[in-house]
Amino acid sequence: MLARIISYTTLGLAALPVEVEVDAAPGLPTLTIVGLPDQTVKEARERVHSAIINSQFRLPSQRFIVNLAPADVKKAGGSFDVAIALGLLAASGQVDPSSLASVAALGELALDGSVRPIHGILPVALAARQSHRRLFVPAANAPEAAMVEGADVVPITSLSEAIDILAGLRPAASARAPQPSPHSTISSLDFADVKGQAHAKRALEVAVAGGHHALLLGPPGSGKTMLAQRLPTIQPALSFEEALETTAIHSVAGLLDGASSLMPRPFRAPHHTSSATSLIGGGPLPKPGEVSLAHHGVLFLDELPEFHRDALESLRQPLEAGLVHVARTKRSLPFPARFMLVAAMNPCICGFLTDPNRRCRCSSTQIQRYLAKISGPLLDRIDLHIDVPAVSFDVITHAPSGETSAQIRARVIEAQAWRRNRGQKHTNAQLSSKELKTYCELTTEALKLLKSAMQELNLSARSYTKILKISRTIADLAESNQILPEHIAEAIQYRSLDRQLWA
């Protein structure tokens, strides 16, 4: 007898349906799995056999062949166990094959027949909803799958429970997940905690409002990491679709840990020893890297010059395109990577070049070699160069608390609403050359100031474009359609490397 049931495998962020075909025929009792299975899938023979016996069913002495179609796609992991077991029982006449017609099943089986959770359920639930299939998932994964509105999710704790539900002997439990606002996170971090650094706070407000990448420059202990960690608290809410996409990425990466609600904006801070693969993604079965895990959020690179050169250079393409293509022999898998890059670095090897209270012991050659670790093409993609000076004792002990994150976030939301109201779809950081002419209207005085800055500071064409984009964001924060001289002047302050601060 031949039985069929659908399961799924994930390719990138997409879920590909896998048809599990099971054929039972007379012959020596064997169980063969074909269809390009990896070692974990092949070992399903032992797991499934023990699970069936311990669930009070039997596996007849027949020749069973399990085919996982399509045959040219690599199958990995234990997520096919439940589907294979149900197929075997249907092929041997213990389960009605017709009951599997509109069903999809995933889950890893324990030897006692219980069902263990797996990774990547959220993309599977999206695919099952589109194909109108009833989706049997491990009970631990059910809240995650239920995030997809309209998906018919059936949580199961054991193989015998799944069989009873198919036979109508037991009602299916409902799987429901709360849908809180994707930005309603409780955080103890607040910009009011940072003493002083009013210039850096304002610059980060501009960066978030316009979607600009930023580089924090200052001596050790000046508060660069402290400022960066508080960036998510001033970012606007994710839309439902953005939150769903972000959660799906973390689901595929296996980082949800049974979460039953949509993720807020992510904040990723990989160590400087991270490889290019860990940043971009990859592996034998490609998984998302840090740039994709930071999608719609912040990627913070502390001690930027200490990262491997190849790792830093691998960031150039996702910074430009907002997408990563991980290529393998037979296919290329896309992963979204639209993130805000925030990096931090010292001005020199010892870190005290810009500290007025400490003496720098680095030679000019050492300083230039240290700064040269950041290539020109990568630096081209960073809009704001933010000076973070050392904080004095008086500021630390007596300075009043500054604005809260809620106050700053309110201005950011208003600025982005101002941008959308003029019909601009992209963030200011993503404006094309044609869009710059449309949306960056300068007054006569602002144009004169920009021309003077270009000549006196010897700024490049790249700097001209960056200053225009930053000025547009500053004007949005001021709710001004035109770019005024004060907007240009403030934008120039955020290009310290162009002004050759350490020359």
**Chain segment 11-60, per-residue pLDDT in tens:** 888 999 999 999 999 988 899 999 999 999 999 999 999 999 999 999 88
Give the model's pLDDT for residue 461.
83
In this prediction, residue 269 carries a pLDDT of 96
Are 80 and 200 in a shared domain? no
Q: Let me know whether 479 and 369 are in one domain.
A: no
Q: What is the predicted pLDDT for the residue at 183?
A: 45
57 & 120 share domain: yes
Taking only the tens place, the pLDDT of each residue in 232-245 is 999 999 998 899 99
pLDDT tops 90 at residue 350: yes
Provide the pLDDT for residue 184.
45
Model confidence band, residue 328 (pLDDT cutoffs 50, 70, 90): confident
Regarding whether 90 and 9 lie in a shared domain, the answer is yes
Cis peptide before 60 (omega within 30 of 0): no
Phi, psi values for residue 297, rounded to 5°: -140, -145
Residues 162 and 224 in one domain: no
Q: Where are the alpha helices (DSSP H) in 30-186?
A: 39-42, 44-54, 81-91, 121-130, 142-145, 159-167
Give the mean pLDDT of the chain.
90
pLDDT value at residue 357: 84
**Quick check: is 408 in a domain?**
no
Please indicate, yes or no, whether residues 48 and 153 belong to a single structural domain of this protein: yes
Q: Same domain for 229 and 196?
A: yes
pLDDT at residue 181 in the model: 46
CATH at 493: 1.10.8
pLDDT average, residue stretch 323-345: 88
Domain identity same for 60 and 196: no
Quick one: pLDDT at residue 166?
A: 94
pLDDT of 478 over the 90 cut: yes
Q: Which residues pair with 293 in a beta bridge?
A: none
Please report the pLDDT score of residue 498 as a whole number: 64
Same domain? For 119 and 223 the reply is no
Q: What is the pLDDT of residues 80-136, one digit of tens each?
A: 999 999 999 999 999 999 999 999 999 999 999 999 999 999 999 999 999 999 999
C-alpha radius of gyration, the chain, whole number: 28
Q: Record the tokens describing residue 104, joined without a space.
A: 């999809």
Chain mean position to CA 208: 17
pLDDT tens, position by position, 353-397? 888 888 999 998 998 899 888 988 898 889 999 999 998 888 888
pLDDT digits (tens, 9 = 90+) for 427-451: 999 998 889 989 999 999 999 999 9
pLDDT at 503 (0 to 100): 40
Instruction: Kindly state whether residue 413 falls inside one of the protein's structural domains.
Output: no
The domain that contains 83 carries what CATH number? 3.30.230.10
Confidence check: pLDDT of 329 > 70: no
Q: Which two three-digit tokens encode residue 109?
A: 């089986």
Distance (Å, whole) CA 249 – CA 259 = 13
Query: What does the H/E/C string look like for 146-162?
Result: CCCCCCEEEEECEHHHH
Q: Mean pLDDT throughout 129-149?
A: 92
Burial bucket for residue 421 (CB in 10 Å: 0-12, 13-18, 19+): exposed
- Residue 330 confidence (pLDDT): 67
391 and 427 co-located in one domain: no
- Residue 397 lies in domain: 191-401
Quick check: 82 and 115 in contact, CB under 8 A?
A: yes
Distance from the first to the final alpha carbon of the chain: 80
Residue 375 sits in a domain whose CATH number is: 3.40.50.300
Q: Is residue 140 part of a domain?
A: yes
In DSSP notation, 393-419 reads HHHHHHPPP---HHHHHHHHHHHHHHH
Contact 63, 26 (CB under 8 A): yes
460 against 160, higher pLDDT: 160
Q: Which helix (H) or strand (E) holds 290?
A: helix 290-293
Residue 98 contacts by C-beta under 8 Å, 6 or more apart in sequence? none
DSSP H or E run through 453: helix 444-456
Q: Are residues 380 and 502 in the same domain?
A: no
- The answer to whether position 180 is within a domain reads no
Give dist(CA 281, CA 314) in Å, integer.
Answer: 10
Residue 231 lies in a domain: yes
Burial class (CB in 10 A: 0-12, 13-18, 19+), 98: exposed
- Contact between 136 and 82 (Cβ < 8 Å): yes
For residues 466-501, one letter each, b for 16 or more C-beta atoms within 10 angstroms of the residue's C-beta and e for the rest, the string is: bbbbbbbbbbbbeebeebbbbbbebbbbbbbbbbee
Residues 240 and 370 in one domain: yes
**Domain ends where: 401, 434, 468?**
401
331 belongs to a structural domain: yes
Compute the distance between CA of residue 263 and CA of residue 248 in angstroms, rounded to an integer.
9
- The answer to whether position 397 is within a domain reads yes
- Domain termination site, one of 100, 133, 167: 167
Average pLDDT value for residue range 186-198: 85
Give the count of domains, the chain: 3
Percent of the chain whose pLDDT exceeds 90? 69
Report how far residue 338's alpha carbon sits from residue 484's, in angstroms, rounded to the nearest whole number: 30
For 278-300, write each residue's pLDDT tens digit: 999 988 778 899 999 999 999 99
Beta-carbon count within 10 A of 43 CB? 14
Rounded distance between C-alpha atoms, residue 344 and residue 233, angstroms: 18
